Structure 1
Amino acid sequence: MNWRSNSIWIEFIRGSRKISNFFWSFILFLGSLGFLVVGTSSYLSRNIISIFPSQKILFFPQGIIMSFYGIAGLFMSSYLWCTIFWNVGSGYNQFDRKKGIICIFRWGFPGLNRRIFLNFLIKDIQSIRIQDKAGFYSRRVLYMEIRGQGSIPLTRTDDHFLTPREIEQKAVKLAYFLCVPIEVF
């Protein structure tokens, strides 16, 4: 969802509240809970849940390892659920030609730096850069090169849904809007 006028362009960035994150955190929670139940059942030497038979699993060393995997999986699952709850990575990019300012806002993890807010002058922008890495883990990222600051990503680095044509069109529109050149890497 974007909003654009003659002098202002606001682009909203989706955070970690994606269907794939919900799916993987749920699967990870269920799998780690199963490992923990089997490890606990092997410690108690009886089945807690009849679906997970544990009579043939000795507590030392298999039960300990399964309990460890279950606890580690629950920690990773809770981390994913927290990033979904806090919507880490969401925010917006605001380009204002009238004031000559670019504002980049993102939500981070709770703490002192929960709100990430960056301001730049449009005249400090060197170029809009497209990075397209092909291969098994291909990714297309749109960057903004700023004098003295380096490159700042404008799109998510894990967003695989943008085709090369879409990222090029987005870069062309943004470069035209800001009156800066485009670089491709």
Structure 2
Amino acid sequence: MFVNTKYNSMKKNNDYLIENNNIIVQRIIGARRWDNIFWAVVTLAAGSGFFFTGLSSYMKKTILFFIAPSDLAFIPQGVLMLFYGALAIFISVFLWFTIALDIGSGYNKFDKLNNSIKILRLGFPGKNRFISLEYEINHIKCVQVSIKQGINPKHEIYLCTKNNNKIPLTQVSQPIPIAIIESEASKLARFLGVSIEDKDIKS
């Protein structure tokens, strides 16, 4: 387990765990989310249906009892069914892989006692499996809230360093409500003793 056992008892949500007003630890949810599991199941079921339908049309016999290949020509319908089915199955396997490894999970730790900020995330297996970044609190210039509306909305919190680097803090998931984002950013800014930069609102 990559998280120190001291923090294993944290609630499984986005709440902050505050210890003696000197430490904040925020748990970050990764790929192991219900929406990812739902789409992995749906993609696998749909892909399997397409794939076996195409395979049935090629073999001219029923593979699954609810698939009748007699009315489906292998070329071009069967070939397309096989292609899209195999593609969907591949995507589903990739989703299950990321879910099993909980890609993107981790925590943000802000420690006034040690003047340190630690950002930890889980990546794919290999040399980048554990992605760990550390900064000093006195190198942070401000907390920035970035809000992007539209088809693919994003509500994010960044730490901006004095050399103008941006450190993303929010998890990759459904956008968190703006009111909650603002509340969390304000709480963090007060804790770090920095300002909140003007919101970057895009439509």
TM-score (norm 2): 0.87
- The answer to whether the Cα contact below 8 Å between 1:57 and 1:63 also exists between their aligned partners in 2 is yes
- The answer to whether the Cα contact below 8 Å between 1:9 and 1:94 also exists between their aligned partners in 2 is yes
RMSD, aligned CA: 1.2
Q: Identity rate of aligned residues, in percent?
A: 36
Q: Distance in 2 between matches of 1:66 and 1:163?
A: 40
Q: Which runs of 5+ in 1 are unaligned?
A: none
**What does residue 191 of structure 2 align with?**
177
Q: Does residue 1:95 correspond to 2:110, yes or no?
A: yes
What are the equivalent positions in structure 2 for 1:6-155 lying under 5 Å apart?
Answer: 6-148=21-163, 150-155=165-170
- The answer to whether the Cα contact below 8 Å between 2:30 and 2:172 also exists between their aligned partners in 1 is no
Q: Which amino acid aligns with 2:180?
A: E
Deviations 1:111-135 (A, max 9, x none): 1100000000111111100011223
- The answer to whether the Cα contact below 8 Å between 1:9 and 1:96 also exists between their aligned partners in 2 is yes
Deviations 1:26-84 (A, max 9, x none): 01001100011101100101121231221111111211111111111111000000000
Moved more, 132-141 or 166-175: 132-141
- The answer to whether the Cα contact below 8 Å between 2:185 and 2:196 also exists between their aligned partners in 1 is yes
SS at match of 2:146: strand
Q: Distance in 1 between matches of 2:154 and 2:75?
A: 44
> How far 1:149 moved relative to its partner?
6.0
Deviations 1:6-45 (A, max 9, x none): 1111111011111111110001001100011101100101
Q: Distance in 2 between matches of 1:9 and 1:156?
A: 16
> How far 1:91 moved relative to its partner?
0.2
**What does residue 17 of structure 2 align with?**
3
TM-score (norm 1): 0.95
Q: Which amino acid aligns with 1:52?
A: I
Q: Distance in 1 between matches of 2:177 and 2:79?
A: 46
- The answer to whether the Cα contact below 8 Å between 1:139 and 1:157 also exists between their aligned partners in 2 is no
Q: Which runs of 5+ in 2 are unaligned?
A: 1-10
